[in-house]
Amino acid sequence: MTVTSQVKEYPSEQLKCWEQAKNLRKNYYEDYLHAHEKGGLRWAGGAWSFSSIPAGLGEDVYCVTGEPYGATIAFFKDFAAKCHDATEAAGFPRTLCAYMRNYWGSILLDKFVLTDGSVVDGYPAPDFIWQDHICCSHAKWYQLVRWLEKQRGKEVPMYSVDVSVGYPDDFAPEEDYKVNYIADQLSDGIDWLEKVSGRTYNDKLLCDAVWNEMRSTSLWAEVCSLNQAVPAPLDEKSMYSLYVLGTLMKHRPECAAFYETLRDEVKDRVKRGIAAVPLERFRVITDTQPPWGFLRIFREMEKYGAVSVGSLYTFGLIGMWQYQPDGTWIPKPLPAQKPRTREEALQAIVRWTMHKPEWAHFYQPELKTKMMESIVKQWKVNAVLLHYNRGCEGLSVHIAENRHGLIEAGIPVFPFEGNMGDERDFDLSGTMARLTAFFESTGLKKLKE
135 is a contact residue toward another protein (CB under 8 A) = yes
166 is a contact residue toward another protein (CB under 8 A) = yes
Candidates 180-188, 252-260, 323-331, 351-359 — which segment interacts with another protein by CB under 8 A? 180-188
* Binding to another protein, residues 282-311 (CB under 8 A): none
Tell me whether residue 59 or residue 162 sits nearer to another protein (CB atom): 162
179 is a contact residue toward another protein (CB under 8 A) = no
181 is a contact residue toward another protein (CB under 8 A) = yes
140 is a contact residue toward another protein (CB under 8 A) = yes
Candidates 75-83, 128-136, 333-341, 374-382 — which segment interacts with another protein by CB under 8 A? 128-136
| Strand 321-323 with 306-311, pairing | unpaired
Q: Give whole-number Cα distances, 395 to 228, 312, 399, in Å.
A: 24, 11, 8
CB of 7 to another protein, least distance (A): 36
| Strand 329-331 with 321-323, pairing | antiparallel
CB of 188 to another protein, least distance (A): 7
Tell me whether residue 77 or residue 178 sits nearer to another protein (CB atom): 178
Candidates 66-74, 179-187, 273-281, 290-298 — which segment interacts with another protein by CB under 8 A? 179-187
364 is a contact residue toward another protein (CB under 8 A) = yes
Neighbours of 270 (CB within 10 A): 18
Are the beta carbons of 409 and 390 closer than 8 angstroms?
no
- Choose which of 25, 146, 263, 342 interacts with another protein (CB under 8 A): 146
Query: Cα–Cα distance between 345 and 209 in angstroms, integer?
Result: 9
Site string for another protein, 80-119 (x = CB under 8 A): ----------xxxx-xxx--x-------------------
Query: Cα–Cα distance between 249 and 424 in angstroms, integer?
Result: 31
397 is a contact residue toward another protein (CB under 8 A) = yes
Are the beta carbons of 170 and 199 closer than 8 angstroms?
no
Tell me whether residue 135 or residue 234 sits nearer to another protein (CB atom): 135
Beta partners for 44? 64, 129
231: preceding bond cis by omega (within 30 degrees): yes
390 is a contact residue toward another protein (CB under 8 A) = yes
193 is a contact residue toward another protein (CB under 8 A) = no
Angle CA(108)–CA(71)–CA(138) in degrees, nearest 5? 70
What's the full length of the chain, in residues?
449
Candidates 1-9, 43-51, 135-143, 252-260 — which segment interacts with another protein by CB under 8 A? 135-143
133 is a contact residue toward another protein (CB under 8 A) = yes
Query: Cα–Cα distance between 287 and 415 in angstroms, integer?
Result: 10
Candidates 205-213, 265-273, 294-302, 399-407 — which segment interacts with another protein by CB under 8 A? 399-407
| Residue 167 phi, psi (nearest 5) | -110, 130
Rg for the chain, CA atoms, rounded: 21
| Strand 41-45 with 61-65, pairing | parallel
Count of residues engaged in binding another protein, rule: CB under 8 A: 51
Of 131, 156, 128, 127, which is closest to residue 141 (Cα–Cα)? Answer: 131
- Choose which of 72, 185, 218, 225 interacts with another protein (CB under 8 A): 185
Query: DSSP for 308-370?
Result: EEEEHHHHHTT--EEE-TTS-EEEPPPPSS---SHHHHHHHHHHHHTT-HHHHTTT-HHHHHH
Tell me whether residue 144 or residue 435 sits nearer to another protein (CB atom): 144
144 is a contact residue toward another protein (CB under 8 A) = yes
CB of 207 to another protein, least distance (A): 23
Exposed/middle/buried for residue 421 (C-beta within 10 Å: 0-12, 13-18, 19+): buried
In the complex, the residues that contact another protein under the rule CB under 8 A are 90-93, 95-97, 100, 129, 133, 135-137, 139-144, 146-147, 158-162, 164-166, 177-178, 181, 184-185, 188, 362-366, 388, 390, 393-394, 396-401, 404
